[in-house]
Structure 1
Amino acid sequence: MSKMLDSTIVTTALPQIKSSLQITSASASLIISIYMIAIAIFIPLSGWLAKKYGNKTIWLLAIIMFTISSVGSGLASNLTLMLSMRLLQGFSGALLVPIARLIVLENTPPQNLLKMISYVIWPALIAPAIAPFIGGVLSTYWSWRLIFMINVPIGMALFISGNKVLQHDIDRTDKSTSFDWIGFALISLASASLLIALEIISSKKVLNMLAIVLLIVFISSTFGTVKHLIKATLPLFSIRPLRFPSYKVSQFGGSMMWLTVGAIPYLSTIFFQNACHWSAIKTGAIVLFIFVGNIAIKPFANNIIQKLGFKNTIIVSLFLIFFTTFMVGMLTGQINQFCIIAILTLSGVGRSLALTAYNGMSLVEIPYDERNSANTLAAVSQNLSQGIGISLVTICFSVLNQYQSVLNAYRSTYILLGIIIIVPIIEVLTQPRHLGVVEESKLN
């Protein structure tokens, strides 16, 4: 939850941080981008570290580092210290969520995966929606420094409960596991070059030579990564889980879906503030209704999936995301706020259903011994998609705003997100009706 919050909550408080540290807007944006880049680079480490030293050991260590780096960020008096702490936050955050998922996945039989996944994805659903509200309240009435300090009690509670509840899994570790330095370097190069290129384009508002070079590096290193992971004897993680249709669909379609829904709370926050001229608190309170939609459908999500099946549930939820994305883009500050609340709530319903279905379906066919690799690959694609989504809407708005009014530029950006969601809709429509259904004999 803390890791998810910190990826979005800082956005609302950037003006106050910029003023307090006396830095430029470009430097302030680094506070967000360095965190996202660090997460993208170090997520592939999570699976290997868990395999070598045990899930519990690495998870508890990650909590300690995340809490310490949160305190450091909250006390930072200059940009250098802030960026150093955010880098450490990104590193520890890259371990927290994947290993937490892995702890659940390695101890859950296939027939119970849907139920367990529905609980595991709650932080991903909740944090982006409540972050703008929390950030707005803290930065308006108290101090932006409290945005980081709230991680301290959360971290302490997680450490105490985790140390008490989790069992040491030393018998599952493999001390002889060698580290795939080539795979790690290639994956890190691909992730970092893409996110840095997008950051340059969004801040400079132009595709300059450095951005072009970085995009070429991204394409080359991506091909190199795939080739290496296929041929390596002991890769950083295996891509063999992609041979299962349900997992393959969840990774491609799920990534495209994450690109859209991951960007909507961020885009809506700046849209309501800049185009509708709402305060940070009012904006956060309205965006919070995405979270209300998440909660409202959650008690019924598993029953809906069991009744409709994974395929039909995903189709319904994606169409709901598609229509509400377009509708949010058509909003103005003069529209009745109850109408805005209804649309955002429906957006949250679609978001919750889609994430539950995609995540619940992704691992039903994956054997226990391949869940570490499947979980690592899923974490990499999900975080990259979220980072790409935020960068993409920033670039789109920056470019369009040079030719359109602020309001129309935001509307066009929402339309782009709506068009993107068509891709996973087409993909899932072409899948067989029994997608994600595993025969009872295979569950035992």
Structure 2
Amino acid sequence: MARTAARCSARRCARWLVARVKDPRAVAIIVASALFMQNLDSSVVATALPAMARDLMVDPVHLSVAITSYLVALCVFIPVSGWVADRFGARRVFMAAIVLFTFASALVGLAQGLPSLVAARILQGVGGAMMVPVGRLLLLRRVSKEELVVAMTWLTMPALLGPVLGPPVGGLLTDAISWRAVFWLNIPVGILGLVLVWIFIPDVEKQDPGPLDAKGLALWGFAIAFLMAGLETAGRGIAPPWFAPTMLGLAAIATVLAVRHSRRARRPAVDLSLLRLPSFGVSMGGGTLFRVGASTLPFLLPLKLQLVFGLSASASGGITFATALGAFAMKPLVRPLLKRFGFRGVLVVNCVLAAIGVAVCALFTAAWPLVAIFAVLAAGGLTRALQFTSLATLAYADVPQDKLAPATAMAGTMQQLGQALGVVLGSLALEAAMLATGAGGAGPREFAIAFVISGLVVLASLPSMLRMPADAGARVSGHGGR
């Protein structure tokens, strides 16, 4: 009798778990464990950057390569993620990517010099390139258009715990143990995410991706790699004078060849025809420009707080996490705002507010109370989170099911490229400001100039959003009763 009761209880439990996993919110939360790991890693690096620079004896501004090398690897390998997921199964690829990312995180923590650090970060980028877009694909193939806003909100809310916890946890670990412990933190998170996916998420149907567009992947990969190499070395004095112009020239040539190939290929790795969808085109164009300007903040802010204000890594992390805390608080409000005002209304007004939120950081001085800085950063986090989530949701509003794999690959590439260019923009803005003021290092004036430049770049994304139809994405947002 007891055994029979136990079996019945186990069956009921199994049925309950299966029912929960069919709920897109449950799938989103499990997939978000991988996004949590990646976002945790991205947010703690900026906080630990000064300590890493001291340990490795590198200029903190030049150590931006530790961030951009990872992001460039993401950009280069994300385009192939859709093909690999369709060819070998999204669940299997997702689990393998989590293993690779976790292993590479351990290697980053063991790095003894800049070359080994960059190599491990590139390996991390390869894992992240498969992990994030393929995880998103697992979710998107399970939800209808009407469920998309809810699913994307639940997907991004747990992932935002990474930036919320990253700065304070990264600061505490850096001060109490070492910057290396920041990367080892990914190991238990990766193991937990792998177990959850293995137990609870079934695979989606395999698709026929056709032959791999190796030529297109190579051309786009070279274009991105050459571009970042040229921008990272321009005006830094860390490479021969001819290197940066040569890289930028090669990037231009590779881009022209890649665009020409993608337009002619039958099944291109980067499907440029998706840009004809107005909602997707706005998200990739104006959305990327917005991300470039906004992504300077996680790089510039910890440097200013530590190098100019003299704060410790933990104190800096305690302040900068206000940005992510504001972002996390915004998530439950995204759907009601989109339903009330529509994508165009939200994106246009919020773009201006977000630009102000970035530029106002130029006013921060040591005389400001830390509570006031915290409040301003939290308010700015609200606006940026609303913009990021709205743009990410809009991107898939009109994408048909058979185009989801290339759409997630392109969207993932542009998202990571925007972040990488944001770090480069912040670094170059500081270098340009130091050159203009004749300062030997980055001080209050130089950081103020860099923040103003970043705010103007965010504002430059406004025209593309003004060109959107008033009913863009209405089926997804529910605006206008649709």
TM-score, L = length of structure 2? 0.85
- What one-letter code is carried by the residue in structure 1 that aligns with 2:448? R
Distance 1:240 1:4, change over 3 A: same
Q: Which residue of 1 aligns with 2:324?
A: 291
- Aligned residue in 1 for 2:461: 424
Opposite residue 410 of structure 2, the aligned amino acid is L
Q: What does the per-residue CA deviation read over 1:209-232, in whole Å, with 9 as the maximum and x for residues that have no partner?
A: 211111111122112212111110
Structure 1 distance, partners of 2:76, 2:264, is 21
Check conservation: 2:39, 2:160, Cα contact below 8 A.
no
Q: Which moved more, 1:39-48 or 1:269-278?
A: 269-278
Q: Percent identity?
A: 27
1:254 to 283, 287, 302: 287
Please say which of residues 187-196 and 200-209 is displaced more in the overlay: 200-209
Shift in Å, 1:80: 4.7
Is the contact made by 1:258 and 1:385 (CA closer than 8 Å) also made in structure 2?
yes
The residue aligned with 2:193 is: 158
State the 1:162 CA deviation.
0.4
Match for residue 361 of structure 1 among 391, 394, 419: 394
Q: What amino acid maps onto 1:432 in structure 2?
A: P
Distance in 2 of aligned mates of 1:205 and 1:389 = 20
In 1, distance between residues paired with 2:423 and 2:83? 28
C-alpha contact (below 8 Å) 1:43/1:98 kept by paired residues:
yes
Which AA in structure 1 matches 2:184? M
- Please say if residues 157 and 328 of structure 2, whose CA atoms lie closer than 8 Å, have aligned partners that are also in contact: no
Aligned AA (2:206): R
Q: For residue 444 of structure 2, what is the aligned residue in structure 1? A: 407
Matched residue, 2:105: 70
Counterpart contact for 1:250–1:358, Cα < 8 Å: yes
Deviation at 1:198? 1.4
- Larger mean CA deviation between 46-55 and 73-82 belongs to 73-82
Alignment of 1:264-279 (within 5 A): 264-279=297-312
1:12/1:135 contact within 8 Å kept: yes
CA shift, 1:129, in A, is: 5.4
**CA distances 1:185-207 after superposition (whole Å, capped 9, x unpaired):** 11110110111111112633899
1:15-30 map, 5 Å: 15-21=50-56, 28-30=63-65
Quote the Cα distance in structure 1 between the aligned partners of 2:125 and 2:411: 17
Match of 1:120 in 2: 155
Q: Residue type matched to 1:349 in 2? A: L
* Cα distance in structure 1, aligned partners of 2:38 and 2:238: 29
Q: Write the deviation string for residues 385-419 of structure 1: whole angstroms up to 9, x where unpaired.
A: 11001101101111211232621111111111111
Give the Cα separation in 2 of the matches to 1:114 and 1:207. Answer: 49
Confirm or deny that 1:149 pairs with 2:192. Answer: no
Q: Could you say if the C-alpha distance between residues 26 and 345 of structure 1 is closer, same or farther in structure 2, counting changes exceeding 3 Å?
A: closer
Partner of 1:311: 344
Larger Rg: 2
- Equivalent position of 2:19 in the other structure: none
1:394, 1:81 → 2: CA distance?
22
Which residue in 2 is equivalent to 1:328?
361
**Matches of 2:298 and 2:116, distance apart in 1:** 28
- Cα offset for 1:233? 1.3
- Residue 65 of structure 2 contacts residue 118 of structure 2 at CA under 8 Å; is this kept in 1? yes
| Structure 1 pair 289–100 and aligned structure 2 pair: CA distance change class (3 A) | same
Matched-pair contact (CA < 8 Å) for 1:194–1:218: yes
Q: Which runs of 5+ in 2 are unaligned?
A: 1-35
Q: Secondary structure at the match of 1:172?
A: coil
Residue of structure 2 aligned with 1:34, choices 59, 69, 74: 69
- 1:403 is paired with a residue whose SS is helix
Residue 334 (structure 1) shift: 0.5
* Backbone CA RMSD of aligned residues: 2.3
**Residue 135 of structure 1: how far off its partner (Å):** 2.0
Instruction: Tell me the CA shift for residue 109 of structure 1.
Output: 0.9
Partner of 2:10: none
| Partner residue, 2:26 | none
Q: Which residue of 2 aligns with 1:226?
A: 259
Letter matched to residue 124 of structure 2:
Q
Quote the Cα distance in structure 2 between the aligned partners of 1:376 and 1:190: 16
CA deviation map 1:151-208 (0-9, x unaligned): 1111011100001122123x4243x732111101111101101111111126338993
Contact 1:262–1:386 (CA under 8 A) maintained in structure 2 = yes
Question: How many aligned residue pairs are there?
Answer: 439
- Check whether the contact 1:8–1:266 (CA below 8 A) recurs between aligned residues: no
The 3 A distance-change label for structure 1 pair 202 and 67 is farther
The answer to whether the 8 A contact 2:170-2:179 is kept is yes
Contact 1:205 1:395 in 2 (8 A): no
Aligned pairs (5 A) from 1:97-246:
97-122=132-157, 125-128=160-163, 130-169=165-204, 171-174=205-208, 177-201=210-234, 203-204=236-237, 208-246=241-279
Question: Could you tell me how far apart the structure 1 residues matched to 2:227 and 2:159 are?
Answer: 23
Tell me the alpha carbon deviations over residues 270-325 of structure 1, each in whole angstroms, 9 at most, x when there is no partner: 12222222222221111111112112222211111111111111122212111112
Match of 2:211, as an amino acid?
S
Distance 2:468 2:102 in 1: 44
Distance 1:48 1:255, change over 3 A: same
Preserved contact between residue 34 and residue 86 of structure 1 (Cα < 8 Å): yes
Q: Distance in 1 between matches of 2:294 and 2:100?
A: 29
- After superposing the two structures, state which structure 1 stretch, 24-33 or 255-264, moved more: 24-33
Q: Which amino acid aligns with 2:461?
A: P
Q: Deviations over 1:324-344 (max 9, x none)?
A: 122111111101223212211
Say which is worse superposed, 354-363 or 126-135, in terms of deviation. 126-135
Secondary structure at 1:435 match in 2: coil
2:415 is the alignment partner of 1:378: no
Higher mean Cα deviation, 306-315 or 293-302?
293-302
